[in-house]
Amino acid sequence: MAQQTETVRRTPLSRERVLSAAVVLADESGVESLSMRKLAQQLGVVPMALYKHVANKEELLDGMVDVIVGEIDTGASGDDWKSAVRQRVLAARQILLRHPWARHVIESRTNKSAVVLEYMDAMIGMFRAGGLSVDLTHHVMHAMGSRMWGFTQEVFDDSAGAAAEIPPAMLHAMAEKYPHVMEIAMRADHDDESVVGQGCDDQFEFEFALDLLLDGFERLHEQGWTSRGRST
């Protein structure tokens, strides 16, 4: 009678199954509420089972980043380096936008996996192929910062969108205390002759900054930049 262990013997765990379940869970309810226990439950397994596939939670997060970075479209393009980089970064952005938690996780990771190193190596290669010197490329990569992953750290919170729900009295008080902030927030909010609509257009802001940087890189490159201001 001994029934076949269970109806059909569920598909076994694997590192891949663990990681992608974790990504799904983070997409759904945020990375801050992702726990080994909830992840295990989702997979119909006891928490400790996960530890046969990932060393610990840190490594789980590393793996999740790899999954995301692996999704980035790295289709080659024969364009000039600027367009190539631009295209790659915007492709990364498309992916990152679908996994809002990834921003935070990427920033907090300290070890770089093979997948991440490959991505970075390829991007460095784009600048080098464009003729930028090793040194200039080095600085340029630093200047890119997390923008190479397609996100800005949104220090400048979208105070505009929220303005609608703030009582007028408080709005007035804020306008007195933070006149410049309000000026910008209000403009972004109801500037009817612009495209923005609600709040401000994150995509526009991102491309604005990206192009500013790329143009700056190009200018330095054309001027034959060499460690200005440093002794030879």
Partner DNA sequence: ATTGACAAGTGTACGCCGTACACCTACCTT
Partner DNA sequence: AAGGTAGGTGTACGGCGTACACTTGTCAAT
The least distance separating DNA from the CB of residue 117, rounded to whole angstroms, comes to 24
Burial status of residue 96 (CB atoms within 10 A of its CB: 0-12, 13-18, 19 or more): buried
User: Which of 38, 180, 53, 74 minimizes the C-alpha distance to 188?
Assistant: 180
Report the distance separating Cα 220 and Cα 136, nearest Å. 8
Report the distance separating Cα 155 and Cα 90, nearest Å. 20
Q: Does 64 bind a copy of itself (CB under 8 A)?
A: no
3-class secondary structure, 148: helix
Single out the residue of 14, 35, 83, 194 in contact with a copy of itself (rule: CB under 8 A).
194
The least distance separating a copy of itself from the CB of residue 167, rounded to whole angstroms, comes to 17
Q: Quick one: 30 or 216, whose CB is closer to DNA?
A: 30
SS3 content of the chain, % helix, strand, coil (to 5): 65, 0, 35
The least distance separating DNA from the CB of residue 46, rounded to whole angstroms, comes to 4
Q: With CB cut-offs between 5 and 8 Å by kind, which of DNA, a copy of itself, none does residue 79 bind?
A: none
Buried b (16+ CB within 10 A) or exposed e, 100-139: ebbbebbeeeeeeeebbeebbeebbebbeebebbeebbee
**Pattern 23-62, DNA, x by CB under 7 A:** ----------xxxxxx------xxxxx-xxx--xxx----
Q: Does 131 bind a copy of itself (CB under 8 A)?
A: no
Which span (9-17, 45-53, 128-136, 165-173) binds a copy of itself, by CB under 8 A? 128-136
Q: With CB cut-offs between 5 and 8 Å by kind, which of DNA, a copy of itself, none does residue 89 bind?
A: none
Q: With CB cut-offs between 5 and 8 Å by kind, which of a copy of itself, DNA, none does residue 53 bind?
A: DNA
Single out the residue of 124, 163, 199, 218 in contact with a copy of itself (rule: CB under 8 A).
124
Report the distance separating Cα 227 and Cα 231, nearest Å. 8
Count of C-beta atoms within a 10 Å radius of residue 11: 8
Given the rule CB under 7 A, which residues bind DNA?
5, 9, 12-13, 33-38, 45-49, 51-53, 56-58
